[in-house]
Amino acid sequence: MAMSGGNAIRGTRVGAGPMGESERGETAPRVRVAYFCATGHETRPSFAAEAEIPETWDCPRCGLPAGRDHTAPPAAPRNEPYKTHLAYVKERRSDADGAAILEEALGRLRASREL
């Protein structure tokens, strides 16, 4: 059995355009909406004319939220800094509590070494 070489895409001609374009029909009427982020970027995504337009949109350049009012863009979300385990423990226990727990643990360790 001989393998035939040549073009792997059969049945198309050069310049035919995207396949299936004629079957898709007309595109829906579109509307462009301007969004502005806190850093001054403007983005203009397009939506179907009958679609519900969102109040905010993520800026594709910086990732901040963008609003439709250029004079009052949404504020950047507040990011909580990473907390260590020790930071969480210090929120729950006072220094006096920590000293008492340490003294108790040292007492048990000393007692176990005496045996």
Residue 59: CATH number of its domain:
2.20.28.270
Give domain status of residue 62, yes or no: yes
Instruction: Determine if the pTM surpasses 0.75.
Output: no
Total H helices, total E strands in the chain: 3, 6
Q: What DSSP designation does 9 have?
A: S
pLDDT tens digit sequence for 70-91: 899 999 888 888 889 988 888 8
Give domain status of residue 101, yes or no: yes
In the chain, the number of structural domains is 2
CA angle 70–71–77, rounded 5-degree value: 80
Give SS3 for 60: coil
> Do 60 and 32 have their domain in common?
yes
Can you give the residue range of the structural domain that contains 63?
28-67
41 annotated as ligand-binding: yes
37 annotated as ligand-binding: yes
Give domain status of residue 12, yes or no: no
Phi, psi angles (nearest 5°) of residue 49: -60, -35
Give domain status of residue 49, yes or no: yes
Give domain status of residue 9, yes or no: no
Task: Please tell me the predicted confidence (pLDDT) of residue 98.
Answer: 87
62 annotated as ligand-binding: yes
Beta carbons of 67 and 56 less than 8 angstroms apart: yes
> Do 93 and 63 have their domain in common?
no
Give domain status of residue 45, yes or no: yes
> Do 63 and 37 have their domain in common?
yes
DSSP readout, 42-74? EE--EEETTSPPPSEEE-TTT--EEES-TTSPP
- % pLDDT > 90, the chain: 52
Task: Give the Cα separation of 83 and 91 in Å (integer).
Answer: 11
Give domain status of residue 56, yes or no: yes
Give domain status of residue 53, yes or no: yes
Q: What DSSP designation does 24 have?
A: H
Task: Give the Cα separation of 44 and 34 in Å (integer).
Answer: 4
pLDDT tens digit sequence for 29-54: 999 999 999 999 999 999 999 999 99
